[in-house]
Amino acid sequence: MLNNWLKTTLLMAAIVALFGAVGMLLGGATGMLIALLLGGAMNLWAYWNSDKMVLRMYNAQEVGPEDAPEFYNIVAELARRASLPCPKVYLIDEAQPNAFATGRSPEHAAVAATTGILRMLSARELRGVMAHELAHVKNRDILTSTISATVAGAIAALAQFGFLFGGDRERPNFIVQLVIMILAPLAATLIQMAISRAREFGADRGGAEISGDPEALAAALRKIEAYARGTPLETADLHPETAQMMIINPLSGGDMAGLFRTHPATEQRVARLLELARRGG
């Protein structure tokens, strides 16, 4: 838990420092002050609202036991097994099978799944997937991952800041052009630094412990991987910085898929889960 708080603090500090440095470069002392204020405001907003932003981005709809009884009851039962407060439960009307957890703490958490994953998986496999997401909640991964998903937006705002201080629209200076040129890889780098692939292995193991059924999650991962590759998720392709929140990489392909890939290979995850099952763990 302390490690995740440290990651989050360092990430937020890095955003403020980045804003300040570019502000100084483009606008001197005044530019640095404005940029620092903007970076601090962005951090405060992200801490309290980034989960809501991501859920809105995917047009996720909250459901209760009356709307999606099987799905909701699976989450509620697993939350009890994990000694967690029951998170808010959301559905995303998308064909691609996928799921994620978000929120700033176990007391303010939400889990979301696509309608595609509900149609494709058996109840046992869905239980394995949601146990994985609740392991993220229990491990307090969700704050870091959710704030990381706002980093690209913060850096895009920095580009607009650059235009304010770096010349006019007809003749932007070299510094502004350089800032804009490095935005996408810089966003990806910050996310890669904040989100370790080992996090997914930890959530797989934690999910297996919560559900007591590592083979169910292994089977689910195989199915999701096979179907997700051929089923685009438009929101994820438009906002690849959110891909690291999903249980399986949702990006359809191309350079951005590799740039923002923060998931370990599914084959490795399945092998570890089956070894865990073999050992009876």
What H or E segment, with its residue span, contains residue 21? helix 2-57
- Tokens at 28, concatenated: 């001197």
Q: Name, in order, each residue with C-beta under 8 angstroms of 88's C-beta and a sequence gap of 6 or more.
A: 62, 109, 110, 111
Spatial separation of the C-alpha atoms in residues 161 and 268, rounded to whole Å: 42
Between strands 88-92 and 109-114, the pairing is: parallel
Q: How far is CA 36 from CA 49, 158, 245, in A?
A: 20, 11, 28
Burial code (b: 16+ CB inside 10 Å, e: under 16) for 63-76 equals beeeebeebbebbe
Spatial separation of the C-alpha atoms in residues 92 and 85, rounded to whole Å: 22
Residue 66 a catalytic site member? no
Angle in degrees, 0-180, between the axes of helices 198-211 and 266-278, rounded to the nearest 10: 40
Catalytic residue among 133, 200, 225, 241: 133
Please choose, from the candidates 238, 233, 256, 234, the residue with its C-alpha nearest in 3D space to the C-alpha of residue 248.
233
Q: How far apart are the first and last CA of the chain?
A: 23
| Catalytically annotated residues | 133
